[in-house]
A and B are shown apart, each in its own frame.
Chain A
Amino acid sequence: MRKYSLWVLTWGLIVLVLLMPPAVVVAEALKNGLAPALASLSDPDGLAAIWLTLEVTVVSVLANTVFGVMAAWVLTKYRFPGRSALLVLVELPLSISPVVSGLVWLLLFGAQGWWGPALEQAGIHIAFAVPGIMLATIFVTLPYVVRTLVPLMEQQGRDAEEAAMLAGAGFWNILWRVTLPGARVALFSGILLTTARAMGEFGAVSVVSGHIPGMTETMPLHIESLYNGYQTVAAFSMAALLAGMAMMAVLLRSAPEWLARWKEKQA
């Protein structure tokens, strides 16, 4: 009996908290049928938002993959003073409110910021422009690749790399042929988490973007604008698309596991 009620409670919670919201979003988007929903997505500002989101996501994922691999390498292969402090610092973006992370960039690059005026004179626009959005997103999504790689690489130790070194492999050969392939599942998972997070980031981006429709609005910001302008169908269509993209990324994370299980069955 107790087992049964626990089961009901668990599923009840999951349906209420996890499954209901996306279902409601999709239902609202399709309220007037599929055609108006699709039409709202092809609005020029909507398309611009989708493009900007993809651009920002690609840039953040690239930047954080390169940084994440380097950081994880340094943090796991070497012992140096300040190592544990660095491990904690890497997680900072997870604990700081995204709004604060956005404000930091404004303080640095805004019109009244530290470096803003000088850069402005040089013709470089960061705040209320695409570079600012990218910086903010990179900052917020920085921990994911590092945090998924570090435990795995820690556990793998240095032996494989030392063996490669003695076999005559140089730094790049070791990185490409030994370290990264050995950690590929964790790396893949970290990259997809970063992707999902980068697409959905609202707080930090909202502060630095300036909400210029068609210019500096990413999908989440555009959804907010649409909603505040009582364009519910358009808002929910965009939201459904965004949720779908993020869910795809998260589902892909388990792909290696399925693949392995499938291979196992074949063998």
Chain B
Amino acid sequence: MSVQVEHLVRYAPGSTRRLLNDVSLDVPTGAFVALVGPSGAGKTTLLRAIAGLDTFEQGTLLLDGQTMGSMRDRARKIGFVFQNYALFPHMTVAKNIAFGLDVLPRSERPSRSAIAARVQELLDLMQIPDAGASYPARLSGGQRQRVALARALATGPKLLLLDEPFGALDPIVRRSIRTWLKALHERLGLTTILVTHDQDEAVEIADRIVVMQHGQIVQDATPEELNRNPQTAFVMEFLGEAPSFNGIVQDGLMVPDEAGLLPFAVDASVSPGPVTAMLRPYEIQVCSPDERSAQEPSLSLIPEGARNGYRHYRAQLAERSVPFSIPDCTENTVEIQASGFLDISRARLFRDGERCR
């Protein structure tokens, strides 16, 4: 099911503050989109508006090219998984999952045995085949998550909306449920929109990431594109650790304010003036002093161990230290007490928060 959101505006109840400020989003059928951003960015508000749980003041919302008037139009076409699962505590897992089928009018309701078969099919799909008779209170967080998902899928919706579904899970379960969810999405041919505040999760699971801030969409791109070409300093920082360096561009050269950093050439499209350079820790390089300049500032590096195939260090500048890292293999060596400069020429440049190179 495709979702088209056009110029959506929603005000906070009883105020003129905009929770959603002119949001437009196009999710084609079969896409897996992650809505990311800090809390209060409007991610959940947007998701709830798409589900029809909240109203909006302006704009249009089309599901499969059609406006959705009432809840009745959407019921059973949308599966929604709540942050806290919202399972019915007084029903068994099987009854929870069957709920959407049990409330169908008698003429449309499948037979008792058909419902039981469907529930078992979903339990198997969720890899909790024996949980049917238990009550939600007896399940672990990961199991409840799966029950919530099974309940959302019971009526065979084509659109799956997930509101921070992994928030309460421990890291190992989180990781395994992610890959599993992605596989499920492909297998059932779903269109999925996932809200998360964890950018790693979004990068791993989604094929498109929509970054939100202050009720607006800041950037909407694939994970690779987002990493390569962040539109704003906020996106750059949100996607991962990104040390920033202030400096001034003049005569085609970016000169950092701090000592110990090498100036670097920028192309003519960047107008002179103050800019902020941002880059990933692994894009920073150390060069020894004799390569470039006569100055010999001392540069001390504090090792911080190795993770994820990188060796991590902090480089001590005059007033602060910045993180940087190099791939963890034996031929790479860095002298701990080096004298030299940090080469930050691979940085993206931002002016007033907007990308300028």
Contacts and interface: CB of A to CB of B under 8 A. Distances in A.
A101 B88 CA distance: 40
A267 to B, nearest CB: 9
B10 interface: no
A15 interface: no
Contacts of B80: 162-163, 166
B100 A178 contact: no
Contact of B104 (A160, A164, A168, A181): A168
A168 B79 CA distance: 11
Interface centre among A162, A170, A173, A178 (most CB of B within 10 A): A162
Contact of B99 (A164, A170, A182): A164
A265 to B, nearest CB: 16
B103 interface: yes
Interface residues of B, number: 28
B148 to A, nearest CB: 8
B86 A159 contact: yes
A169 B76 CA distance: 9
> Chain B: interface secondary structure?
loop
Contacts of A165: 53, 71, 75
Contacts of B100: 167-169
Contacts of B84: 159
A184 B90 contact: yes
> Chain A: interface secondary structure?
helix
Interface in B72-96: 74-76, 78-80, 82, 84, 86-91
B103 A173 contact: yes
Contacts, number: 64
B51 A167 contact: no
Contact of B82 (A162, A173, A178, A184): A162
Given A79-B13, A168-B155, A163 B103 contact: no
A167 B53 contact: no
Contacts of A166: 51-53, 71, 74-75, 78-80, 152
Contacts of A169: 75, 99-100, 103
A166 B78 CA distance: 7
B348 interface: no
Interface string A156-196: 00011011111111100100011001101000000000000
Interface of A: 79, 159-160, 162-170, 173, 177-178, 181-182, 184
20 contacts: A79-B13, A159-B82, A159-B84, A160-B86, A162-B82, A162-B86, A163-B80, A165-B53, A165-B75, A166-B51, A166-B74, A166-B79, A166-B80, A167-B75, A168-B75, A168-B104, A168-B155, A177-B102, A181-B91, A182-B88
